[in-house]
Structure 1
Amino acid sequence: MADSNAARRRARRRVGSTGATGVRRTLLVSAATVAAATLVLVPLAAGTTGADPVGDIQDVLFGTENAFDPTAGDSGDEAASSAAMLGRAAPEGGAEGVLLSIAPTLAPTYTPGTATAPVTITVELENRSGSFVEAGSVRLVRSADAIDDDSELDAWLATLDTGAAFGSSSVALGETASRTLAAGGVTQVAFTVPAAAFDELAASPVVGLGAELVVGDTVVSTGTSAFANTAVASAGAPLALVAPITVPASSSGLIASDDLENWTSASGLLTRQLDALSGRQIAIGIDPRIIASIRVLGTSAPVTATEWLDRLAALPNETFPLAYADADLALEAQIGLPAPLQPTSFDDVLDPDDFLVDPAAGQNADGDDAATPTPTPVPTEPVSPVPSIEALLDWPYTRADIAWPGDDTVGPGNLSFFSSAGLTTTVLDSANVEPLEGARASALVDGGTAIVSDDDLTEAVRTAGAAATDLEWRDATGEVLARAALDGSANASNGPLLATFGRDYGLVSDRVGDLLDELATAPFVSLTGLAQAIGAPPTARSLVDSTEDEARRTLAENMVTVEGDVDAFATVLEEPTELTGPVRRDMLALFDTGWLATPTEWSASTTEWIAAQHAAVDSISVVPSSTVLVVASETGIPVTVQNTLSLPVTVQVDVAPSNGRLVVDEPVQVTVEPESRSTVIVPVAAGVGNGEVRLAVSLQSLTGVSVGSTVIITADVRADWEGLGAAILGGIVIIVFGIGLWRNIRRRRRARAADAAATAESSEPAGANESSEPNERDEHDEPTEPTEPDDTTEPDETSDRDDD
């Protein structure tokens, strides 16, 4: 025996990870293509000399005419023969290259036949080898002995080594031919087995079935299944089931309206999940992001989404909230957070117009008849129609004390972290605790209360829920019932077992409803609620340290640090939550446990998110400028601030000089509109001396948080130029006024001289100028000195009289 059957089931789920719908679509297209080709090629093949027209058609369709060397088997080279049988391509996963599923033809249980009604069993072959598989034969076997406990069941279901055949532990039931199987192809072969072939197992609670594909002399693949025997009474094992309602992991903290409309449509993802779980005995963990994403849209939400939300509210199931966006609680505990993260705001996506109530015609806003007089209302403060964050997230869960971390992610101390947040019961994967024979769901682990899933039951439940075909579903469901039958017979009085669906079940949930219906009616299972599993007497169990990968934790720590930087930066906004709200929601979305399955993609998305937040924090900056010349004792330094955010920001511009040549007054406040620039003048005064000053220009929010990087602007101070310039200007003014004054004085002197001359000329005696003998004077003679008047000369009496 090699790997456990759990490994086989996990491999099977990987094949169906794209969903049952996609597999069925591929099969339908392939079948249609084959049928059309057959209609055309069969007449042609009939005229050939080959003895196998069907094989000729297969050669044409799949290109196998030259792939298999008929002489390879004669060479004695078993390796070459085996390679030829599989088209020279080794099966992926060894014996898992061709997956064999076995089940009774019509039911997931074994019912003994009669002499007139034999047992019919179907074997399904799915080729996952990546190449074609040659025609061979399928052998059907059963377990040789009764299976009446878990160890015997595990031994039977364990996968055989590659190339190994069933030994003495099995009894052959029949053999039939199988056709060539193309890569990715699926085919079935049926067996009709006489009832007497199972006589030895009439009292066995579980009947084991097996099949092997043989090509030539080589066993290409084997498979085993187990089914509860309906002829053996069972007390019915109590079983609690838990499933999530989630959406695929993404980097968005809210689901887009288009996605909501698609996923809540008649065949949408969320509708299928609700159809599978509604009204059935299963507890549901709900992602609050789904509820909030619909509610924030108000009246603009898609009709299908609001109807889906009404259906969710009407569920009779037990419900509890997952973390917002199904965030990884264990990761939050392991990076040292004080409490689980919660969304902080939805204000950035709430439009008041989407929440206005339009009163019905003929009625007022209170629904009363408009004709009825109403009292005059007392003026009050207007009430915003926009719902609060509490209203958006509020939901009538039946429980709010459940923590459901991802599978195999919990480390020491994590349960205390959950409990301190009010999550007093933790749903743990079985791999997170040490195995304990006979242990039930209720447990005490690492000082906390937990319910632990059963590994084998959970694997089978998840495989059944993700089954791509009916026979694969019956195979997996048969194992669930077989394990329940054994458990119910041996531990009828013990508490419930627990099985959980994976976080990705919603992507392949087509068979979940069928499984739950089968479990609800089968006598081997007694479905019970989550409350019964939690309330059962607990068993002390040891925690297996499953602390998450260091690289993942480091990246998550960086995200939390970056979010803190954004919170501080957001103080530049009038409403900081317009930025911090979406940042927190998106970070929670990146913490989604769904990302655990794709670590590479998660790392890339997280790195991109961190880069986007760094860009937001650096979105406000001072635009560098050239040297500024300062020639006045008091002036202003122009500073340009750039804002690349889509929101207006308000900052303080602070200028710090490198020396005392400039003195800066108080910082200047400026508001910059979205995606624009604004220039502000910062007042400065000249200090002592002239020369170069380096001005360190920085930005701060109004609360004192530094924003952006400091930019250095050089200022050339020449403040004495102001005095020199004033002196020169004053001198020029004095000179201009002096010249003007001198010119005026000269002009007036000339005017007085002219007036005096005119007066003197008019006062000379008449005839003085009429002398015939002019006063001739030799031009060389010296001028005669004027004669001083004689003070003794008596004044002219005539003049005196005239004066009188």
Structure 2
Amino acid sequence: MPDESTSHRRVRRLLGLAAGAASAALGLSWFIAPIAGSPGVLAAAAAESVEGVRLTIAPADGTAIAAGQPVRIQVEIVNGTDDAIRAGTLTLAVATDGLDDRAEVDAWLAPADGGSNLGTDEVAERATASLAAGAATTLEFTIPAEATSAEDPVVGLAAGLDVDGDAVSTATTIVANTRVPVETPAGLVLAFPLTVPPLATGLIPADRLESWTAPNGLLTRQLDAVSGAPVAVGIDPRVIASIRVLGDAAPESAVEWLARLAAMPNEVFPLAYADADLAAQAQVGLDAPLEPLGFEDVIDPADFPADAGEEPVATDGGATPAPGGTPDTAAVLDWDYTRTDIAWPADETVATGDLDWFAEGGLTTAILSPGNVEGGGDDTNAGARIEGRTAVVADARVTDALRDAAAASSDTAWRGATARLTAELALAGHDDAVTLLGTFARSAGLEADRVEETVAALAPGQWARPATLADAVGAPPTSRTLASTPEDRQRIENIDRMLQAERSVQEFSDVLADPAPLTFPTRRDLLALLDVGWFDQPEEWTSSVGTWLVDRRAVTDSVSIVPTSSVLVVASETGIPITIENDLPYPVDVVVEVAPSNGRLIVEETVEATVEAESRSTVQVPVAAGVGSGEVNLEVSLTSPDGTPVGTSVRIPANVQADWEGLGATVLAAIAVAVFAIGLIRAFRRRRRDRTAETTDTDAADTSSRADGPDATSRPAEPESTGRDALDEQGSPVAATSPDDVVTSDGPTGDAVPAPEPRGPIE
């Protein structure tokens, strides 16, 4: 041991470092001066800081110590900075007196006013080597027997790291003494969320199910950690539904995992689907918690073969749908839960009035984080009465240590956190019997290996006895006050936008004969984006929400009117062609409405149309000319069959010249008459020419006959007109024929010869 003066200086330095830890707990930060000769400036944070230099103190053997005997202690140094730490000195100290109650524990773990009223003894010191950036090292000490008392229920330990005379980091912790038995162990209820990492989809893809339910998969490790242990398990129904909807197509590992879950003897209760944020739903003004609308859109009947001759087979928890058909929504979600009245909102998200909203939705008991509740004091039963409602409140000390143990990144860190957990339970058990609640973080499933270790370390029951949620709820409740902590306003506004987008899709879906392909996945994905797990990934959540909103807008804009140029209306009654485009992979039914801007055009009726999937269709909307001619703007819009507007309206200019119809008809009639008259005239003239040609041919034949016949010279000549009218055989006058009108040919020469001289009339 060093001399007394050196020991006193180091004790004061440790107390000063402990005060620094308290400042860090209040959100402050402090920095050390540059180390001489070091490669850079080292920023040292307090022990609990995620970044910087961190010290962790833990028993080397197990998670508790036997005080009054030599004890092996390990201290882990983690350099989370960007610079190397030069060689220094690590000092270990012990509280001179045992810690008997929570007030002394608080004073030891977070001393105020720059020091502590608890005595401290330095018990060991070791030189440390330089530590590279991002590296970690563990040093071991032995505390002498006389440094601790066998009668102390809890021992306080402290460690400090100095480099070149400057304090770099410090840590304090508490450890339970196995030599002091707990006469009345506290009842301990553990609540574990069986969930998956946040996804943007309302169903888990088959490939991920296969991976997560494999022997070393995420879901398998969670089930291994809690199955059969004294842990109440909140199950995300999305996991069950994602396996069931696949039927025979589900991965074999997933089917086996679901059967194991059904056989698990633990208390089980449902979380909201996809572990959706209940407090946000209350604060955004919904009438009740959201639930999936259905799963029929993703169920393939081929994956559920019907066995006509078999009766439905019941399985544990309903893990497999009964043969003979596809499961409905109730069958997909059905499970044999221990209780269904539990609401487990995210930590510190519940505001005034939310508990009433939970209860109205059937969730009459809420699991609340310690930061959401005031009053009650130390070692208060988990059961509480808040705002007239039933609740179970997590214990802050137990829950903090439990979560640190589950998320520990090293064995030393896990032993240190678990040692602190058992010490807190040891102190709680010294008073009247109480039932405490410890809750794992929503992300605990990602560190399921440490969950199993932590639960196993508490199993012997020396420090606490296992209890159930029913025990906590049924115990006499403590009246406590809600610390109203509404969620961030920006988050609520984003969720409200999502709800409005979903309503738009629901209204738009009336264009389908079956709206399920649009509404069912929209609701499921909305619930997935409300997953409490997104709290740890705010940037990723904002990006996913933005993408989802854009996709919903694309759905509601997928049926639209194709804009066209100006149309000309020249008839009193006609049709306006309207082209409709459907980008959906489903046929849609729409109603086309046309509203003219003035009375020059009258729309006689709306037109219903069916547009096939991913195609265009043109319909004719009947219109009639009104009064006068001129420009008209046609406002063309679509609605669903029930009258819900679809897409955006389109304005089409039209030029109405309805009086052109009569003028055009007159012109066409005149043209028709003219053409007909011309045809008649041409026909009359043709017939006249034909008759003249016939007469000429006949006369020529007669003349030729007389000239060539044997009695041609003796036959008397035919009488010819002499200018007076001749008489026929009955004495009637015959029209005179001009000699010039008759031409004959003389034999084969074809020479023209004059007609014979006219003779006088026959007497």
Q: TM-score, normalised by structure 1?
A: 0.80
What is the aligned partner in structure 2 of residue 251 from structure 1? 200
Aligned to 2:419: 478
- Structure 1 match to 2:564: 625
CA deviation after TM superposition for structure 1 residue 686, in Å:
3.4
Tell me the equivalent position of 1:224. 172
Taking a change above 3 Å as real, the CA distance of residues 291 and 195 of structure 1, as seen in their structure-2 partners, is same
- Pairing of 1:550-561 with structure 2 (within 5 A): 550-561=489-500
Counterpart of 1:210 in structure 2: which amino acid? A
> Offset at 1:255?
0.9
Greater Cα shift, 420-429 or 134-143: 134-143
Give the C-alpha shift of residue 566 in structure 1.
1.0
Deviation at 1:440, TM superposition (A): 1.6
| Map of 1:421 onto structure 2 | 361
Shifted more, 592-601 versus 177-186: the winner is 592-601
Residue from 74, 84, 99 that aligns with 1:122: 74
Q: How does 1:495-510 map to 2 (within 5 A)?
A: 495-510=434-449
Shift of residue 93, structure 1, vs aligned partner: 5.2
Which of 78, 90, 94 in structure 2 is aligned with 1:142? 94
Distance 2:443 2:551 in 1: 28
- TM normalised by structure 2 equals 0.84
**Structure 1 residue 775 displacement after superposition:** 11
Residue by residue, what CA displacement relative to the aligned partner does 1:647-706 show, whole Å, maximum 9, x if unpaired?
221211222223333333332222223332222222333344333332221111111111
| 3-state SS of paired residue (1:280) | coil
- The answer as to 2:150 corresponding to 1:195 is no
**1:114-147 per-position Cα deviation (integer Å, ceiling 9, x unaligned):** 5xxx322211111123321111222111111121
Which of residues 273, 279, 283 in structure 1 aligns to 2:222?
Answer: 273
Change (3 A) 1:128 1:522: farther
Residue of structure 2 in register with 1:88 after alignment: 41
> Contact 1:212–1:221 (CA<8 Å) still a contact in 2?
yes
Shift of 1:110: 1.1
Unpaired runs of at least 5, structure 2: 1-17, 314-322, 733-763
Counterparts of 1:16-27 in structure 2, within 5 Å, are none
Q: Any residues of structure 2 matched to 1:22-33 within 5 Å, and which?
A: none
- Out of 195, 204, 210, which is 2:152 matched to? 204
Describe the shift of the 1:744–1:480 C-alpha distance in structure 2 as closer, same or farther (beyond 3 A).
closer
2:129 counterpart of 1:179: yes
2:106 aligned to which of 151, 154, 168: 154
The residue type equivalent to 1:181 in the other structure is L
Which residue type is aligned with residue 359 of structure 2? S
Q: What residue number does 2:754 align with? A: none
Distance 1:541 1:3, change over 3 A: farther
Out of 325, 329, 333, the position equivalent to 1:393 is: 333
User: Secondary structure of the equivalent of 1:305?
Assistant: helix
Please provide the CA RMSD for this pair.
3.4
Give distance in 2, aligned partners of 1:510 and 1:108.
17
Aligned to 1:373: none
2:34–2:42 CA contact under 8 A, matched in 1? no
Correspondence for 1:169 among 113, 119, 139: 119
Structure 1 residue identity aligned to 2:160: E
- Counterpart residue identity of residue 77, structure 2: L
How far apart, CA to CA, are the structure 2 residues paired with 1:698 and 1:502?
A: 51
Counterpart check, 1:345 vs 2:286: no
Task: Tell me the alpha carbon deviations over residues 588-630 of structure 1, each in whole angstroms, 9 at most, x when there is no partner.
Answer: 1111111222333322221222222122111111111122223
* Contact 2:108-2:118 at 8 Å conserved across structures: no
The aligned residue for residue 108 of structure 1 is: 63
The answer as to 2:399 corresponding to 1:449 is no
Aligned: 1:99 with 2:48: no
Instruction: Map 1:31-110 to 2 at 5 A.
Output: 80=33, 82=35, 87-92=40-45, 96=49, 97-110=52-65
Which residue of structure 2 aligns with residue 490 of structure 1? 431
Structure 1 stretch displaced more, 499-508 or 609-618: 609-618
CA–CA distance in structure 2, aligned partners of residues 659 and 786 of structure 1 = 79
Q: Which moved more, 1:668-677 or 1:256-265?
A: 668-677
Counterpart of 2:350 (choices 405, 410, 419) is: 410
Whichever residue aligns with residue 275 of structure 1, its letter is D
DSSP-derived class of the 1:707 partner: strand
CA drift at 1:3 = 7.1
Q: Is the 8 A contact 1:92 1:128 kept in 2?
A: no
Residues 129/477 of structure 1: CA separation in 2 closer, same or farther (3 Å cut): same
The answer on whether the counterparts of 1:453 and 1:499 sit within 8 Å (CA) in structure 2 is: yes
- Confirm or deny: 8 A CA contact 1:126 1:186 kept in the other structure: yes
Aligned residue in 1 for 2:545 = 606
User: 2:746 aligns to what?
Assistant: none
After TM superposition, give the deviation of residue 788 of structure 1 in Å: 9.8
Taking the aligned partners of 1:310 and 1:384, their CA distance within structure 2 comes to 20
Residue number in structure 2 paired with 1:516:
455
Per the alignment, in what secondary structure is the counterpart of residue 485 of structure 2? Answer: coil
Structure 2 CA distance for partners of 1:694 and 1:488, relative to 1, 3 Å: same
CA contact (8 A) 1:147 1:204 kept: yes
Shift of 1:760: 13
Shift of 1:347: 2.0
The structural deviation recorded for 1:580 is: 0.8
Once residues 367 and 621 of structure 1 are traced to their aligned partners in structure 2, the CA distance between those partners, rounded to angstroms, is 47
Given that residues 87 and 134 in structure 1 are in contact (C-alpha distance below 8 angstroms), is that contact kept between their aligned partners in structure 2? no
Tell me which amino acid in the other structure corresponds to 2:242: S
- Pair 1:6–1:584, CA change in 2 (3 A): farther
Amino acid in the other structure paired with 2:333: L
* 2:79 and 2:135 in contact (8 A); partners too: yes
* Mapped contact 1:95–1:221 kept (Cα < 8 A): no
Of 85, 99, 105 in structure 2, the residue corresponding to residue 133 of structure 1 is 85
- What is the CA–CA distance in structure 1 between the aligned matches of 2:512 and 2:295, rounded to whole Å? 16
Cα drift, residue 160 of structure 1: 8.2
8 Å contact 1:5–1:158 — kept in the other structure? yes
SS in 2 for 1:489: coil
Q: How does 1:674-689 map to 2 (within 5 A)?
A: 674-689=613-628
Counterparts of 1:660 and 1:762 in 2: how far apart (Å)? 80
**Using a 3 Å threshold, how does the CA distance of structure 1 residues 125 and 728 change in structure 2: closer, same or farther?**
same
Alpha-carbon distance between aligned partners in 1 of 2:312 and 2:647, rounded to the nearest angstrom: 54
Letter in 2 for 1:397: Y
| Conserved? CA contact 1:165–1:212, under 8 Å | no
The number of residue pairs the alignment matches comes to: 694
CA distance in 1, matches of 2:393, 2:366: 8
Please tell me whether the aligned partners of residues 45 and 54 of structure 2 are also in contact (alpha carbons under 8 angstroms). Answer: no
Distance 1:126 1:670 in 2: 70
Counterpart contact for 2:21–2:46, Cα < 8 Å: no
Higher RCO (CA 8 Å, separation ≥ 6 residues)? 1
